[in-house]
Structure 1
Amino acid sequence: MGDEGAWLRSLVGDVTDRTPPGRPMSVQDHARALRPLVAAFATDVADRIQTDVPAYAGEPDGRRRDVIAHAVEQATHRFLDTLDGLPHRDRGVDEMFQAMGRAEASDSGDLAAMRAALRLAATVTWDNLRRANPEQPLTDETRGQLADGLFGYIDHLVEQAEKGFAAGRRAIQNDRGQARARLADKLLTGRHRGPLDAVDPQVWAPPEWVVVVVSEPDEQRSIDVATLALDHLVVRHDQRVAVIADAKQTLAVTAAFEAAGTRAAVSWPVGPKLVPSAYRWARRALDLVRRGVIPEQPLIECRDHRTQIWLHSEPALRQRMCQDMLKPLLAETPNSREILSQTLLVWLETRDSAPAIAAHLGVHAQTVRYRWKRINELFGDDLHDPEFIVQITMLLKASVPLWQAGDQSDFERFREEESA
């Protein structure tokens, strides 16, 4: 590499010879004198960077060294532009360092190496300027101007690199976010066909167990989707926010919905291949809250309501079975229908005695006996058929909460079919 300061000492000596007697060299004198030797200086600095900054190491005559030398040369010229006081063309240095910052966002993931390289460039430059001409040292004023200008300019270049780096990270995150949203949509709808272990790990590394958290429709505006998307698969789907998360991070995800005041349902943990099912369960749980089957609460734990989610998995089938198997109940008056269905369901679930059922319902045992007599009149020998008992138990468990919540659709359908 040779004597790094020799070229500068020689040049400053020439400028000194041409400086009128009695007038010390000015900052402008230094800047104009340095122009012809910028290329050699840039080569020296590039060599030092490749030697001292491991991230930029490479062949001394390779492309990387040429890129570094070009950047140093253009930045140095631009620095001299700020010193000599003359108008100069736009060299595109800011844009170049922003582009370098964007490249670092993709390659290294941080700016540590570039900051180190710029600090080294500043140190080498200042050492050369400071030691250039021992016979005629820089005045304190000139030295101060050069130091302020140099280190201020280095700070400016760092800011440009940081600006480019931030833009690069945003672009990467945006691209990654779009890829993650597309993957989330395919997983939720069951349209993902490839093996999950083939998914780009930068997009998603499938955990062993996942949960699906789903917001109420039209209640997602206050959810911090951007923050959730940093660690989980997040997509707006069917007017909902849906999150596919590692089951180990369930509390962190549900806390975000609760903090936003948005009702959500969370599935129990499943393997990633069962995401479409978990999504259906969570949506069904929210629907059952709206219909009054599941009590209203900020967070719906699907695990706590698996029976109702299962029983309501086929609404059309429940409706048809209701019309076929509960026809005697549907024909009763509203008051009779309510008390008989409650009594029958308690008996089917407990098989307790009349006094025990009465205690459960808060009525007299004789009242239960009367009701049971009426139930036997309605269903007769079917109450001794094991298959009928199983089906009517599930049917009443699914239907009675609907009726109690005010859903009259079963009775309206019964009247329509009876009058047809």
Structure 2
Amino acid sequence: MPESGAAGQLGGRLELDAQVAERLRGRLPMVAAHTVTTITAEVTAYSGTLTGQMREKIENAVRVALGTFLQLIERAGAADPSTPLSRALEAAYALGAGEARAGRSMDALLAAYRVGARVAWREVSTTTVRSGLSAETVAEFAELMFAYIDELSAASVAGHSDELANVGRARRRDLDRLTQHLLAGDPEEVLRRSAERAEWSPPQTLTVVVLPRSSLRGVLAVLPPHTLESGEDLPGAQWAEEETLLLVPDMHGSRRRQLGTVLHGHRAVLGPARPWVAVARSYQRVLKALMLGVPRPADGTALDTEQHLARLVLHTDPEALADLRAQVLAPLADLSPATAARLAETMRSWLLHQGRRDDVAADLFVHPQTVRYRMGRLRELYGDRLHEPGTVLDLTVALAFPPAEGDGGPAEHPPATAPTPSSEARRP
């Protein structure tokens, strides 16, 4: 602990008459009591708190601190004048740590020191003046006393800061563990114990958000204070290192739009709101969207997985979807890849627009007569099956979306006939 300040250099600077020192020592109980009374009156954080045993403890600390100061002066010129100061600084450090544990701020602690220094010096200076000390000696006494109190306050501030840092690190670890338990889908009893250990009040729902780390600070500043931030090594994580994950409380219902507004411009991915003990399902939804490469809006709007449920459902079993696609497009297998792609694209648009020829033409940027011709070819290839509900259902599901990356299916079903739009395919 540092002792290089003015109070640590007391030896040889001031020799206090033994009689004056004894007189000051006799007034320490009164000075301590008056100091504590004034602190409770002037520092709001201590109002009503310094009573009973706590008051006795603080009064004793004040007496010891001032007694140590007198002892330092009396030991001027001794071989090791700093020993009493070391003990005083250790006590001040412990006081600061205790105040942090009690929930009082550093500002309150420093205000108490300022009030205490003022009251103590008023009482001590009265005694020194009445004892006949010269003005020069009293001034030097004041300088050393305030330097000593400054060192005590600095030690208390260090104790306060270190305690908060230790508590903060411990709570951060507990919150990280809680996040891991939540995303892993651990049993509810485990989640509740973990939340209690982290002093985290469970909300009604949680929503998973993945966003770039560069946006983290700005977004956290406007999200609810109980938002959880992910640590590292999350289960199943498949996003880039420059991205991170948040669990945002109570953003269900109408508040979801508010969350989307907050995330606008940050290229975030937004999972569904789920009961807090079931947020792993929101996490899995986001992972699925990222794995499928669902495109994020170019304008920075959050990718809301709730707006892509059909795509997510259809790609739950990529191999089955690839098999279905190959099966329903089998009548096109003998055509050239370009022709097959044009007809499959036309079929998809025809199904989605419920056979409205002009709408299909507008969608494909072709003439309505081109649509009529292509549909004629498809009727030739499929025959009466185009009128069967089962075939229409299979075609609608298989062609609902272009194949996702990696959804090519088995080797015997190459995706050459997949409905992939191209400039060639859109030629009339």
What SS does the aligned partner of 2:229 have?
strand
Quote the residue 2:62 is aligned against. Answer: 72
Task: Read off the aligned partner of 1:375 and give its amino acid letter.
Answer: L
Quote the residue 1:279 is aligned against. Answer: 283
Are residues 133 and 224 of structure 1, via their aligned partners in 2, closer, same or farther at CA, if it must alter by over 3 Å?
A: closer
Task: Read off the aligned partner of 2:154 and give its amino acid letter.
Answer: E
Quote the residue 1:338 is aligned against. Answer: 341
> Is residue 214–residue 242 contact of structure 1 (8 Å, CA) maintained in 2?
yes
Per the TM alignment, residue 413 of structure 1 is displaced from its structure 2 partner at its CA by 5.0
Matched, 1:234 2:229: yes
Q: Which moved more, 1:165-174 or 1:294-303?
A: 294-303
Task: Read off the aligned partner of 1:254 and give its amino acid letter.
Answer: L
> Is residue 212–residue 282 contact of structure 1 (8 Å, CA) maintained in 2?
yes
Cα distance in 2, alignment partners of residues 42 and 316 from structure 1? 85
Cα distance in 2, alignment partners of residues 167 and 274 from structure 1? 36
Structure 2 counterpart of 1:266, from 249, 267, 270: 270
Q: Deviations over 1:32-67 (max 9, x none)?
A: 6566678755544553455452455233xx4x3554
Matched, 1:208 2:207: no
Structure whose residues are more often helix by fraction: 1
Are residues 163 and 342 of structure 1, via their aligned partners in 2, closer, same or farther at CA, if it must alter by over 3 Å?
A: same
Are residues 126 and 119 of structure 1, via their aligned partners in 2, closer, same or farther at CA, if it must alter by over 3 Å?
A: same
Are residues 307 and 95 of structure 1, via their aligned partners in 2, closer, same or farther at CA, if it must alter by over 3 Å?
A: farther
Cα distance in 2, alignment partners of residues 133 and 49 from structure 1? 18
Per the TM alignment, residue 193 of structure 1 is displaced from its structure 2 partner at its CA by 2.0
Per the TM alignment, residue 348 of structure 1 is displaced from its structure 2 partner at its CA by 1.0
Quote the residue 2:81 is aligned against. Answer: 88
Per the TM alignment, residue 390 of structure 1 is displaced from its structure 2 partner at its CA by 2.8
Q: Deviations over 1:282-338 (max 9, x none)?
A: 22333333xx65555644232333332333233343234334444444664321232
Over the aligned positions, Cα root-mean-square deviation in angstroms equals 3.8
Are residues 161 and 167 of structure 1, via their aligned partners in 2, closer, same or farther at CA, if it must alter by over 3 Å?
A: same
Matched, 1:58 2:62: no
Quote the residue 1:393 is aligned against. Answer: 396
> Is residue 319–residue 410 contact of structure 1 (8 Å, CA) maintained in 2?
yes
The TM-score with structure 2 as length reference comes to: 0.73
* Unaligned ranges ≥5, structure 1: 1-25
Structure 2 counterpart of 1:106, from 101, 109, 123: 101
Task: Read off the aligned partner of 2:199 and give its amino acid letter.
Answer: V
Per the TM alignment, residue 233 of structure 1 is displaced from its structure 2 partner at its CA by 0.7
> Is residue 322–residue 407 contact of structure 2 (8 Å, CA) maintained in 1?
no
Matched, 1:254 2:263: yes
Quote the residue 2:424 is aligned against. Answer: none
What SS does the aligned partner of 2:361 have?
helix
Task: Read off the aligned partner of 1:206 and give its amino acid letter.
Answer: P
Per the TM alignment, residue 211 of structure 1 is displaced from its structure 2 partner at its CA by 2.2
Task: Read off the aligned partner of 2:259 and give its amino acid letter.
Answer: T
Matched, 1:191 2:194: no
Cα distance in 1, alignment partners of residues 27 and 261 from structure 2? 54
Quote the residue 1:158 is aligned against. Answer: 153
Cα distance in 1, alignment partners of residues 342 and 34 from structure 2? 91
Matched, 1:129 2:108: no
Per the TM alignment, residue 172 of structure 1 is displaced from its structure 2 partner at its CA by 1.5
Per the TM alignment, residue 275 of structure 1 is displaced from its structure 2 partner at its CA by 1.4
Q: Which moved more, 1:301-310 or 1:244-253?
A: 244-253
Quote the residue 1:356 is aligned against. Answer: 359
Size of the aligned set, in residue pairs, is: 374
What SS does the aligned partner of 1:194 have?
helix
Structure 1 counterpart of 2:14, from 21, 28, 40: 28
Cα distance in 2, alignment partners of residues 305 and 221 from structure 1? 26
> Is residue 130–residue 138 contact of structure 1 (8 Å, CA) maintained in 2?
no
Per the TM alignment, residue 344 of structure 1 is displaced from its structure 2 partner at its CA by 0.9
Task: Read off the aligned partner of 1:107 and give its amino acid letter.
Answer: A
Cα distance in 1, alignment partners of residues 71 and 260 from structure 2? 57
Cα distance in 2, alignment partners of residues 332 and 39 from structure 1? 107
Task: Read off the aligned partner of 1:234 and give its amino acid letter.
Answer: E
Matched, 1:47 2:42: no
The TM-score with structure 1 as length reference comes to: 0.74
Cα distance in 2, alignment partners of residues 225 and 344 from structure 1? 46
What SS does the aligned partner of 2:207 have?
strand
Cα distance in 1, alignment partners of residues 178 and 273 from structure 2? 19
Cα distance in 2, alignment partners of residues 37 and 225 from structure 1? 60
> Is residue 332–residue 340 contact of structure 2 (8 Å, CA) maintained in 1?
yes
Are residues 77 and 145 of structure 1, via their aligned partners in 2, closer, same or farther at CA, if it must alter by over 3 Å?
A: same
> Is residue 285–residue 309 contact of structure 1 (8 Å, CA) maintained in 2?
yes
> Is residue 202–residue 276 contact of structure 2 (8 Å, CA) maintained in 1?
yes
> Is residue 323–residue 409 contact of structure 2 (8 Å, CA) maintained in 1?
no
> Is residue 285–residue 300 contact of structure 1 (8 Å, CA) maintained in 2?
no
> Is residue 111–residue 162 contact of structure 1 (8 Å, CA) maintained in 2?
yes
Per the TM alignment, residue 339 of structure 1 is displaced from its structure 2 partner at its CA by 1.2
> Is residue 36–residue 59 contact of structure 2 (8 Å, CA) maintained in 1?
no
> Is residue 31–residue 83 contact of structure 1 (8 Å, CA) maintained in 2?
no
Cα distance in 1, alignment partners of residues 392 and 100 from structure 2? 66
